Each structure stands twice: as structure tokens, then as C-alpha cells.
Amino acid sequence: MKKILFASSEAVPFIKTGGLADVAGSLPKYFDRKKYDVRIILPKYVCMEEKWKSRLKPVTEFYVDLGWRRQYAGILEAEIDGMHYYFVDNEYYFAGSHPYGEIYQDVEKFAFFSKAALYAIEKIGFWPDVIHCNDWQTGLIPVFLKKVWNANDRYRKIKTVFSIHNIRFQGRWKIEEVRDVTALPADVFTPEGMESYGESNYLKAGIVYADAVTTVSKSYAMEIMTPEGGEGLDGVLRRYGFKLFGILNGLDYEVFHPGKDRFIPVRFDASNAVKKKPQNKAKLQEALGLPKQPDVFLIGMVSRMSDQKGFDLLPGALEELLARENVQFAVLGTGEERYENMFRYYAEKYPDKLSANISYSEQAAHMIYAGADAFLMPSLFEPCGLTQLIALRYGTVPIVRETGGLKDTVEPYNKFTQEGTGFSFANYDAREMLEIIRNAMELYDTQKECWQNLMLRGMRQNFSWNSSIEEYERLYESICQVTG
């Protein structure tokens, strides 16, 4: 039995700000449980919902040396459906109303988390063969292992995988301060180590010191090795290309399951979607205060509102669509104020056509996935993207830009062969996006049967974890074979 410790700064059902939580909360569940004991470790944030906090049982406590500081760490545990989740407790570091805060605080907070996770191994007696780290918040784990625990035989045997979910966020901060917090040796802060453009960089640390690096789609793995997509780390990634793998995210098909979804008004599957989706659409329109027109083309968006998601393409295009076309938009999201205000503006100007729900709501999200006809995701870049996968599963036709995981998961509609699962455009260009939205709308308005078949083809795709799990298992096996 191989033991894997999956370290993440968020995981459903406990705490979520984006797709990382979906992945950390689902990937570990889908390994072959006869061969893998996968446990998850994450921070216990004060902002976690009480219903989750109350399920945690104390396991142990100890002190973590962090430079000249000695910080308390409690370890708590929850077991859900046979899965073990460990939580690192420290109310000074994990206070606040959100998991993440100012970067200068976060670099210390996640140095603490990374080190506490390593201490915890010995204290709880769960000795993993592999620690699977995720994003910059856990980038120091491989470094501490190699530089602090290198004299300990049991720790020295542990291998590490570092997964990049988004290369934009790197955990960059002043070298002197990170040295002060981590007390790592000087060689770590050189260009051969985690130094990058004069700063220390946790994401680079993960890339350099882990035994293998993965990212969440094959296209994104290629893109981050180019100057356009590498956010300054493309050179490092090319150098370490030999240990970089693109493994597509899966979706938790138990959670995102239109046949079982307790958030949606009318449950459905591919056999009755043509009849039942319109019922969800009517309920959605009603809930959002949009006119209850069955034939209007309803486009959904559920997203963090950041430039990553392509929102800079929207202003002109939205105006044109809303002013001229028989279309409705159901928008749900929070994020940068300029985008929130853009949607508020259009909702006020076109109240019968655009509903802007500036909030975070599982219920509202699921209702949009179930009730919309199409799902718009014009991302500037997209490591994988889960929302287009959810849309596909719920028979909501994705309209995406061909980048990263969107390119790998949405096959463009071909009117000649009647193949494909969605619509896509190549360049980051508002005109191209508008044209593609209009093509989708035209198919919907004029060729109902082709539209329905397109929708059903999407529903029949399989983006569960099944195939990606095998790739992770192979990766774990291969790094464990390497000694030293």
C-alpha cells in the first residue's frame, strides 16, 4: 500500500475559493483504495464554516521552529467517507475572513503551514511515500524536506510531486524576509534555487526541488514553457521540462451530477435532458427575475471575476449583444470591482436581459449550470478550468477561447460532420468572440435538433477522474522507483 499526503491550501467541502479546492477535495478520493492510502492536509482557517469546524477532532499538538520563532501547531482530523483530512491549527496565522490575505503575511503563513505539515508526519505517524504539493502555498515543502530534514532517514525517503494550478500566483517576496522566516541556507536563495528576479519565489521552489512537477492540462504544460504563458518562469520550466507533466483535471462526477443534484429544481440526465433542461431554464429565469421566455438564448457565466477569465473582452461585446439580440445572460461571480461594476451596469441598463449576481453561491451556480443554454468562458489563460466541464455535464454548451484546458476539453462544433461539443475562438479578440457567440445563437435559433445533439454529445463526454488517476498513479510509481 502506497501512502500519499496531499497538501493543499483549500479543499471541498471544508474551504473553497476556486477550482483548486474542487481538485483537492476530489482527486484523492478516486485513487484505487486497495493500493493507495491518500490523506489530505490543509490549514484550519478561522473562516471555515462552523458545521465543518465542529466535525474536527484533536489529534496532537506541537511547536514549529520558524526562523527564530516557535509557533504552536495543533493537528485536527476529520474522516468523511473513509477519507482522512488533517488540519493544521494556529489561530494567529489562519485568522481573517478569507484564506488568503496580503502577500507579505501569506509567505510567512504558508511557510508555517508547509513546515507544520512536515512535522505532523512524525507526530501522527503517517509516513507518506509521496507528498503531493499544490500551488505556491506548498512550494516550500520539497525545500524543507531536502534542506532541513535531509539527515533523517525516514524523511529522506519521501518523494514530492508539485502541481501547478495557476502559474500567475507565485508567492514572491523579499529574500531577506523569507530567509528570516524559513532559516533556509543561503544556497536556496540563488538562481539555482528559489531566487527569481531578485526575489524569493515559492512556486519556483516547488518546481526546482520537487521530484516531479505537474500542471492541470497538457496544453497548459506547453504554454507555461513559453514566454507568453510562463509568467517569467518559462525558462525554469524549460530547464526542468524533463520532469514536467500535464495531467488533465477531472470533475467529481458525484458532486456535479445533474441526476442527483440537490441544488437544481429538476434533475435530469442525457436521456431526458431535452425535456427537462427547459424546466430548469424556466426556474432559473424566474429566480433571476428575467422574462420567462423558453426560446431566448440564455448564456450563463459562473466565475471568479479576474482578467484571467477574459472579462476585458466583454464590455463592447455585451453592449452589442444586449442592444441588438434576443439573448439573456445569467452572471454569477465575485472578484475585481471593475468587473463587478461592469456587470452591475449592464444589469441596470438591460434588466430584462442580464442578471448579475455578485456573490458566491453553490445553489445559484448549480442552477445556472442546469438552466442555461450556453456557458461563456473567454479566458485569457486557463490552466484547466472546471466550469466548462461542469457545463458539459449539465448539457450547457460551452463557448470558450482556445487556451490551456479549454482547448483540451471543448471540441469545436463542425456543422459539416456534426461533431464537436462546443464553440471556440482562437485569438483574444472581442470581435472573434462576438462572431462565435452569434454562430452559437444562430444554431440554437434555427436548427434545434443540431443544437440538441450538440448538447447531448457534451453530456456524454467523460471528464471524471478515471483516466487522469491512472496518470497520477504511474507518476507516483515512477518517482518512488528512483532512489536517492
Contact residues for ligand GLC, defined by CB under 6 A: 18-20, 23, 165-166, 216, 249, 382-386, 405
Q: Give the separation between CA 305 and CA 98, rounded to whole angstroms.
A: 16
CB of 422 to ligand ADP, least distance (A): 15
Q: Which partner from the list ligand ADP, ligand GLC, none does 334 bind, CB cut-off 5 to 8 Å by kind?
A: ligand ADP
CB of 367 to ligand ADP, least distance (A): 10
Nearer to ligand ADP, 375 or 425 (CB): 375
Helices (H), 130-210: 141-147, 153-156, 175-182, 202-209
Q: Give the separation between CA 234 and CA 301, rounded to whole angstroms.
A: 31
Q: Residue 235: which residues within 8 A CB-CB, separation 6 or more?
A: none
Compute and round to an integer the Cα radius of gyration of the chain: 23
Q: Which partner from the list ligand GLC, ligand ADP, none does 303 bind, CB cut-off 5 to 8 Å by kind?
A: ligand ADP
CB of 156 to ligand GLC, least distance (A): 30
Q: Give the separation between CA 150 and CA 458, rounded to whole angstroms.
A: 49
Q: Which partner from the list ligand ADP, ligand GLC, none does 378 bind, CB cut-off 5 to 8 Å by kind?
A: none
Q: Which partner from the list ligand GLC, ligand ADP, none does 114 bind, CB cut-off 5 to 8 Å by kind?
A: none
**Contacts with ligand ADP, residue ranges (CB under 6 A):** 18-19, 22, 302-304, 332-334, 360-362, 365, 385-387
Nearer to ligand GLC, 129 or 382 (CB): 382
CB of 252 to ligand ADP, least distance (A): 9
CB of 385 to ligand ADP, least distance (A): 4
Q: Give the separation between CA 273 and CA 268, rounded to whole angstroms.
A: 6
Nearer to ligand GLC, 258 or 405 (CB): 405
CB of 231 to ligand GLC, least distance (A): 12
Nearer to ligand ADP, 182 or 215 (CB): 215
Q: Which partner from the list ligand ADP, ligand GLC, none does 216 bind, CB cut-off 5 to 8 Å by kind?
A: ligand GLC
Q: Residue 472: which residues within 8 A CB-CB, separation 6 or more?
A: 27, 31, 214, 247
Q: Give the separation between CA 127 and CA 73, rounded to whole angstroms.
A: 19
Q: What are phi and psi of 67, to 5 degrees?
A: 65, -130
Closest by CA position to 5, among listed 36, 30, 34, 39: 39
Instruction: State the residue number with the nearest CB to ligand ADP.
Output: 19
CB of 354 to ligand ADP, least distance (A): 16
Q: Which partner from the list ligand ADP, ligand GLC, none does 361 bind, CB cut-off 5 to 8 Å by kind?
A: ligand ADP
Q: Which three cell numbers stand for residue 389?
A: 466541464
Closest by CA position to 162, among listed 218, 112, 217, 207: 207
